[in-house]
Chains A and B, each alone.
Chain A
Amino acid sequence: MESEQLFHRGYYRNSYNSITSASSDEELLDGAGVIMDFQTSEDDNLLDGDTVVGTHYTMTNGGSINSSTHLLDLLDEPIPGVGTYDDFHTIDWVREKCKDRERHRRINSKKKESAWEMTKSLYDAWSGWLVVTLTGLASGALAGLIDIAADWMTDLKEGICLSALWYNHEQCCWGSNETTFEERDKCPQWKTWAELIIGQAEGPGSYIMNYIMYIFWALSFAFLAVSLVKVFAPYACGSGIPEIKTILSGFIIRGYLGKWTLMIKTITLVLAVASGLSLGKEGPLVHVACCCGNIFSYLFPKYSTNEAKKREVLSAASAAGVSVAFGAPIGGVLFSLEEVSYYFPLKTLWRSFFAALVAAFVLRSINPFGNSRLVLFYVEYHTPWYLFELFPFILLGVFGGLWGAFFIRANIAWCRRRKSTKFGKYPVLEVIIVAAITAVIAFPNPYTRLNTSELIKELFTDCGPLESSSLCDYRNDMNASKIVDDIPDRPAGIGVYSAIWQLCLALIFKIIMTVFTFGIKVPSGLFIPSMAIGAIAGRIVGIAVEQLAYYHHDWFIFKEWCEVGADCITPGLYAMVGAAACLGGVTRMTVSLVVIVFELTGGLEYIVPLMAAVMTSKWVGDAFGREGIYEAHIRLNGYPFLDAKEEFTHTTLAADVMRPRRNDPPLAVLTQDNMTVDDIENMINETSYNGFPVIMSKESQRLVGFALRRDLTIAIESARKKQEGIVGSSRVCFAQHTPSLPAESPRPLKLRSILDMSPFTVTDHTPMEIVVDIFRKLGLRQCLVTHNGIVLGIITKKNILEHLEQLKQHVEPLAPPWHYNKKRYPPSYGPDGKPRPRFNNVQLNPIDEEREETEEEVRLLNSTTL
Chain B
Amino acid sequence: MDCHNEECSRPQEEEDIMDIPLDDPEANRAAAKIQAGFRGHMTRKKMKPEDKAEGEERPEDRGQ
Chain B binds chain A: no
Residues of A within 8 A of B (CB): none
Residues of B within 8 A of A (CB): none
